[in-house]
Amino acid sequence: MKEEHISLLEHQDLFSGVAKEDIGHMLQCLGAYEKAYQKAEFLLLSEETVNCIGIILKGRVHMVKEDLWGNSTILTSLQPLEIFGESFACGSSKKSTVSFQAAESTDVLFLQFHKVMRTCSKVCSFHQQLIENMVSIIADKNLLLMEKIEVTSKKTIREKIFAYLVSQAQKKSSSYITIPMGRLELAEYLCVDRSALTRELNTMREQGFIDFDKNTFRILKEL
């Protein structure tokens, strides 16, 4: 594996507490492999069996949910160093209920989940730490899902927009935020029409609630 990627993984939560010099040996133990994807290419389709978890090394990945008529909704947009697939890999059926699609040119590192969660025959000194980190990551993902539900459960488009921006601002501890999604992606995430989203954003700016330039926003006052 490339040295630059090992240096990157040193800052990934899964490897928290693991010395950099142990990461390379760990990846061999976990059956790690890299794969590159082009924009719009699917990494994993709904109903596929999930045996590996993925760590994004470069690019972005959308978690997408499709209905019976083929309409898709972006549940979340995953950034470099984020993990995906772990919730399905640890489930009883191991079937994914969503699809994962590259939002741009993307490189992913895959790890065999059963090797992550089970101590290997070599009894690696770092493996218990790895298991504890994985449990924490799954718990944190559940919190993000609760955040998504809280945002999309708002009644109006304005309330959804504001709830999302406030949640991002709280994470950054700043009223200035840059979101990782364009207008179409944001509309799908909020489960609203793109044109209606654009109109409401412009209205909120005119009324002095927010200001923005492309994907950079500033919250000016409360609703």
Q: What are the pLDDT digits (tens) for 18-42?
A: 888 888 888 888 889 999 999 999 9
Better-predicted residue by pLDDT, 59 or 1:
59
The rounded distance, in Å, linking the Cα atoms of 46 and 65 is 8
Least confident of 140-144, 209-213, 216-220: 140-144
Q: What are the pLDDT digits (tens) for 114-158?
A: 888 877 666 566 788 888 899 999 888 888 888 888 999 999 999
**pLDDT at residue number 121:** 63
Q: What are the pLDDT digits (tens) for 51-88?
A: 999 999 999 999 998 877 878 888 888 999 999 999 89
pTM over 0.95: no
Alpha-carbon separation of residue 182 from 74, 190, 197, 198 (angstroms): 12, 12, 11, 11
**pLDDT at residue number 92:** 82
Mean pLDDT, the chain, whole residue set: 90
**Angle formed by the axes of helices 157-172 and 194-206, nearest 10°:** 70
